[in-house]
Structure 1
Amino acid sequence: MAISDVPPADCPPWLVPVHTLLLGIGVLCWDATYILMTRRALATKSYGMPLLALAVNLSWEMVYVFYVCEAVLETTGFFVWLLLDIGLVYTTIRFGPHDWKDSSPWVGRNIGCILGLLTAVGCVGHYTFAVWWLAEPGRGIGGDKRGKWWQGREGLDTTELAFWSAGLSQLNLSAGSVAMLLVRGHSGGTGYAIWFFRTMGTLFGLILDNAFMWWYWPAGYGFIVSPFAVFIWGTSMACDIVYPFLLWQVRRTELLLPDGRLVRCDSQPASTASSDHGKKKR
């Protein structure tokens, strides 16, 4: 992706290294997010990533690690994400049935199959999009694709390809996380640290790195300021900005059960409500 870009001669020589640094910060923030999300999910016996977002994310990482990535650093980053996804998948399948038992028991009973099917569909979608994008040089939103290389061919912009693929995943995750928090009414599987690293991962790994390149190389990175791109990252960031305030409100009213689970205050069993075993979180 951008690691293999060859900027115009009038661009500063440190352009690509700084972009790689910003992207690396984003990658590390997402590593921390996955680890913290798994730990929190195990502690609260819930799962932290919305089902559709997890499937879209898994399929995106699979397609890129096995097809799109060329540089060792890029492939390693995606492969580490896939390894960390194991914890997210496990907690989703392990605790999903309980989380869905009131709203849709059928989804809970079949959550593993549903996740597998959604991931398979996501792989087909991401793969066909990547194949189409890389079929001929010059695909993308305007700009000059000179200096963009993939498999020895110039004009194939995998950075823009990755932006649209990651943007879809990010929008699903940001909006889905807000929806899941409001529907559940408790913070099982999530928390402030998870929100912080997730938001920083988006900011550095999806927005700032590409915006930085656009500032010095507008012809090659004009996609980041296109209307649809602004909608994607703008909506994602808006959801991420609102999220901690919603989380604060939810945590004021949720209940901690003896086994570590968190539930919304109006869903506590009567037997538990009449005892001292459940306590209100402030």
Structure 2
Amino acid sequence: MASIPAILEIPPPEVAELWRQVLKPTFMIGGWLWILSYVLLARENMRSKSYGMPLFALANNLAWELIYAFYFHDVWFKRLVFTIWVCLEIPIVFGTIRNSKYEWSHTPIVHEHFGKILLALTLWCAVGHWSFLHWWFEWNISAKKGKFYRGVEGPDPTELKWWSGEFCQMTLSLTSLVQLITRQHTRGVTWAIWATRAIGSSFEPHFHALFAWLYWREPHEFLASPVSIFLSGTAVICDLVYPFVFAHIRRRERNSSSNSGAKDKNGSTKKLR
């Protein structure tokens, strides 16, 4: 007997064949851009005395990736991408803990217990993501025709991952923007990190979601719900505002550096006289 795929979608005949063809490419493009973003984050953590991913967003993302890599029954290539994400988060976590002393020196209790706080937040978020997943399938939330999970028709894993993933996306985009504004420096982040994260999210989940709503609307009407628009809209707006704030702060940093250099030069000249 042939094995049943972990997740399977069987759209009705009237759904365009293009629907099947676009699913894997959009996920893979988005997934690999996020992989590149994680590599750049880890590299920047090592290079600068700072970190790029905010504390809660890091804990929440890591917890989500752990649950969906090792507990959630997904198709193999998606589990592979989630597993790669988890592996790349490890150097990001260590770099964040190492550099936390430079960002939290004004708050000794956070500085001294940063690693423990990150661990506690990660465990707490993992319990939350596991509870949501368990509740979703145990109570058969949002059962639909043409949607399968572990060979059973009804439970919609696509909608489950949308709500949990979009919460992570909104949290990361919002806290990244807030962190940039409150820090007033760009250490730990770069243009490339923002671009790979923002473009990757545009492909997966946002382009995927738009395509699903346009071509197979019946089981994807939740994508146009107010709460869905709020989550995705907040994430997109923050990602669009981010580069303008980044450019403004980077310009101030360069001006400040130039002024400091000029002052040092003038001071040296005066000493010679």
Runs ≥4 in structure 1, deviation > 4 angstroms?
Answer: 272-276
Q: Given the alignment of the two structures, is residue 247 of structure 1 paired with residue 246 of structure 2, yes or no? A: yes
Cα deviation digits, residues 9-53 of structure 1 (max 9, x gap): 211233123122111111011011101111122111211000000
Q: Given the alignment of the two structures, is residue 229 of structure 1 paired with residue 228 of structure 2, yes or no? A: yes
Show the counterpart of 1:75.
79
Show the counterpart of 2:218.
219
- Cα separation, partners in 2 of 1:173 and 1:101, compared to 1, 3 Å: same
Alpha-carbon distance in 2 for matches of 1:14, 1:246:
38
- Cα separation, partners in 2 of 1:176 and 1:273, compared to 1, 3 Å: farther
Q: Given the alignment of the two structures, is residue 171 of structure 1 paired with residue 175 of structure 2, yes or no? A: no
Show the counterpart of 2:29.
25
Show the counterpart of 1:280.
none
Q: CA deviation at 1:3?
A: 5.9
CA RMSD of aligned residues (A): 2.2
Contact 1:2 1:159 in 2 (8 A): no
Contact 1:224 1:230 in 2 (8 A): yes
Contact 1:3 1:16 in 2 (8 A): no
Q: Percent identity over the alignment?
A: 37
Q: CA deviation at 1:70?
A: 2.6
Q: Given the alignment of the two structures, is residue 11 of structure 1 paired with residue 15 of structure 2, yes or no? A: yes
Alpha-carbon distance in 2 for matches of 1:230, 1:118:
27
Q: Given the alignment of the two structures, is residue 134 of structure 1 paired with residue 134 of structure 2, yes or no? A: no
Show the counterpart of 1:279.
none
Bigger mean CA deviation after superposition, 93-102 or 121-130: 93-102
Give the paired residue count: 259
Show the counterpart of 2:208.
209
Show the counterpart of 2:54.
50
TM-score (norm 2): 0.89
Show the counterpart of 1:199.
198
Alpha-carbon distance in 1 for matches of 2:74, 2:178:
36
Aligned pairs for 1:177-192 (under 5 A) are: 177-192=176-191
TM-score (norm 1): 0.86
Alpha-carbon distance in 1 for matches of 2:74, 2:250:
44
Aligned pairs for 1:79-118 (under 5 A) are: 79-102=83-106, 104-118=107-121
Instruction: In structure 1, give the amino acid aligned to 2:148.
Output: W
Q: CA deviation at 1:217?
A: 0.6
Tell me which protein shows more helix as a share of its residues.
2
For structure 2, the residue ranges without an aligned partner over 5 or more in a row are: 266-273
